[in-house]
Chains A and B, each alone.
Chain A
Amino acid sequence: MNLAEGVQIVSFGILSLMVIGAALGVVLLSNIVHSAFLLGMVFASISGLYILLNAGFVAAAQILVYVGAVNILILFGIMLVNKQQDFVPLPNAWLGKLATAAVCGGLFALLSTMVLGTTWAISTEAAAGDGSVVLIGMHLFSDFLLPFELASVLLLIALVGAIILARREFIPDEQPGDPQPEGLKLPERPRDLVAVGSAPPDGDA
């Protein structure tokens, strides 16, 4: 085993540990913001695995799309919705947890048998490496044109949907003192009212 192979095996081990550890953290941590940041680490580690597979472009795209866009969107979502709600312990919560464990275990067993049962045909061709940009472009505009366009239509639908949800056109004329209907309010913490025009605190001229 030469130097390059040793480095590859060690990095593969470290990256796999990072993916698994961070993914477990995403699921098990109670703080949702920590989970979201760990999700970013999962994506970044997967991009490291792509680099090991000699797919530099896919690795960079993984960072750009998943870490730079998807993960930030998730964080934005979490940070802009400041809904403070106490966690109410549910009765018979163990039942739900048991069902989740059963489903997850079943999925894991199914995937493991599939992975172990398939005879993987490992390509003997050299990896495309730096030429992969051209190859990916060729595929996107020939045999993968339809899936590519469908994915873009899906994104467009999501975009239009988000705009329609975000803009609230029908805000009725508000009468002073009229309580706003509950449905039009964004969930927000009640805050102390500050008296407008009251005397400023000392030394604040």
Chain B
Amino acid sequence: MTLGIDLQGSFVDALTGLGLPAGAAKASWLPLPMTLILIAATVSIFVTVWLERKISAAAQQRIGPEFAGPLGVLQAAADGLKLLVKEDITPAKTDPWLFTLGPAIVVIPVFLSFLVVPFGQNMVITDLGVGIFLWIALSSVTPIGLLMAGYSSNNKYSLLGGLRAAAQSISYEIPLALAVLAVVMMSNSLSTVDIVNQQAGYGILGWNIWRQPIGFLIFWIAALAECERLPFDLPEAEEELVAGYQTEYSGMRFGLFYVGSYVNLVLSALLVAVLYLGGWELPVSIGAIASVIGVSESTPWLQIVAAAAGIFMTLAKAYLLVFIAILLRWTVPRVRIDQLLDLGWKFLLPIALVNLLVTAALKLTFPIAFGG
């Protein structure tokens, strides 16, 4: 197992070579990956919004945005600009503090979760030991922001929407966590980097989706519900609740909800890619490619190509999932709130438990294939 390129190590070495103390060199490295990921996450919103508009249009046999930039790629920027310059309305008798804090609390955990998303062996902001568990913990904070927004808006639709959103995310967190637990059990680690490494070596055949097909489906359904994507977008069901907890929001505060939901979709897709689709691994393992073209795996140019391919693969897998999510939006009708809770508690939860049990049994029986 090669370690791949270590940008942090090289950067710190270069700075200490220039005469900086080691601590200062390391501290000056810290903001770089954070800024990069923050920018990447923000850009991913534009890409996802454009994809959503174009694919939705294709699904409905329209053309979609056309005039803002080539193929309408600047449409999301135009939308964002519109939200920025819109009047920021605070309705009468709202709770001004909670009204402002609500959207922020929804968005911050989503961006924080990018801490543990790996794009390569060393291309992760921090390889935490609690890794994927941090994401589960952070995503459980979001309902507080939703409740805050719903409560402070002084609107019954908002309050109902906020309560629904909180109930939905609490219900689907449990099957989500159980599906993750089965993967963690196979890789003997919570760290996202270890989870990907456990899938490495056999190319596409080693990916967790073959060993955890049920877990993959449970995770994907629960992740869609956590993102409030369409079959499960009850908190803002237009026919019933106007726009749920977003009803009274306008301008950039509404924009924050918008940003939060799209970044959350990309984040969930990235994590599905990491947990079940082999993360940055190529469909054919890099070792096999190296032996075919007859160079050592530690050749510098091969490592750079492999790192670039890794980032590309992670993003490609994530955006394939985003594409599926958008198609699902236009093909699956919205469920009712009671059907939603039934699906979560009476169907996904027992299946996730059985999946966990079966994984444990398989791990004991075939320790080679299931990470003994």
Contacts and interface: CB of A to CB of B under 8 A. Distances in A.
Interface of A: 2-4, 33-34, 37, 40, 44, 56-57, 60-61, 63-64, 67-69, 71-72, 75-76, 79-80, 129-133
B292 interface: no
The DSSP consensus for interface residues of chain B is helix
B257 interface: no
Interface string B161-177: 00100110010010000
A68 B140 contact: yes
A130 B128 contact: yes
Interface of B: 23-24, 27, 95, 98, 128-130, 133-134, 136-138, 140-141, 143-144, 147-148, 151, 159, 163, 166-167, 170, 173, 190-191
Given A72-B166, A131-B129, A64 B144 contact: no
A131 B136 CA distance: 19
29 contacts: A2-B23, A4-B23, A33-B95, A33-B98, A33-B151, A34-B98, A37-B144, A40-B144, A44-B141, A56-B134, A60-B136, A60-B137, A61-B137, A63-B141, A67-B144, A68-B144, A72-B170, A75-B147, A75-B151, A75-B166, A76-B147, A76-B167, A79-B159, A79-B163, A130-B128, A130-B129, A133-B129, A133-B130, A133-B190
B98 A37 contact: yes
A56 B129 CA distance: 8
Given A4-B23, A72-B147, A79-B147, A130 B140 contact: no
Contacts of A72: 143-144, 147, 166, 170
B137 A68 contact: yes
B355 to A, nearest CB: 20
Contacts of A80: 163
A129 B129 CA distance: 8
A3 B20 CA distance: 13
Most buried by B among A71, A130, A132: A130
Closest 3 CB pairs of A and B: A130-B129, A68-B140, A64-B137
Contacts of B130: 56-57, 60, 130, 133
A60 B128 CA distance: 11
Nearest to A47: B137
Given A63-B137, A67-B144, A3 B151 contact: no
A61 B140 CA distance: 11
Nearest to B184: A133
Contact of A71 (B136, B144, B173, B190): B144
B280 to A, nearest CB: 21
Given A57-B129, A72-B143, 4 more contacts: A2-B23, A56-B130, A72-B147, A129-B129
Contacts of B163: 76, 79-80
A3 B151 CA distance: 42
Contacts of B143: 68, 72
A64 B177 CA distance: 11
B140 A75 contact: no
A129 B127 CA distance: 13
B166 A37 contact: no
A3 B129 contact: no
A76 B159 CA distance: 11
B136 A64 contact: yes
Contacts of A57: 129-130, 133
Nearest to A55: B130
Most buried by A among B24, B129, B148, B191: B129
A122 to B, nearest CB: 23
A40 B138 CA distance: 13
Contacts of B23: 2-4
B151 to A, nearest CB: 6
Contacts of B167: 76
B137 A75 contact: no
Given A4-B23, A72-B170, A67 B129 contact: no
A167 to B, nearest CB: 15
Contact of A56 (B128, B136, B159, B170): B128
Contacts of B151: 33, 75, 79
Given A3-B24, A72-B147, A63 B140 contact: yes
Contact of B134 (A60, A68, A69): A60
A19 B30 CA distance: 27
Contacts of A69: 140, 170
B138 A63 contact: yes
Contacts of B190: 133
A40 B102 CA distance: 13
Contacts of A63: 137-138, 140-141
A37 B141 CA distance: 12
Most buried by B among A33, A64, A129, A131: A64
Contacts of B128: 56, 130
A33 B128 CA distance: 34
A67 B24 contact: no
Given A37-B148, A72-B147, A64 B24 contact: no
B147 A64 contact: no
Nearest to A129: B129
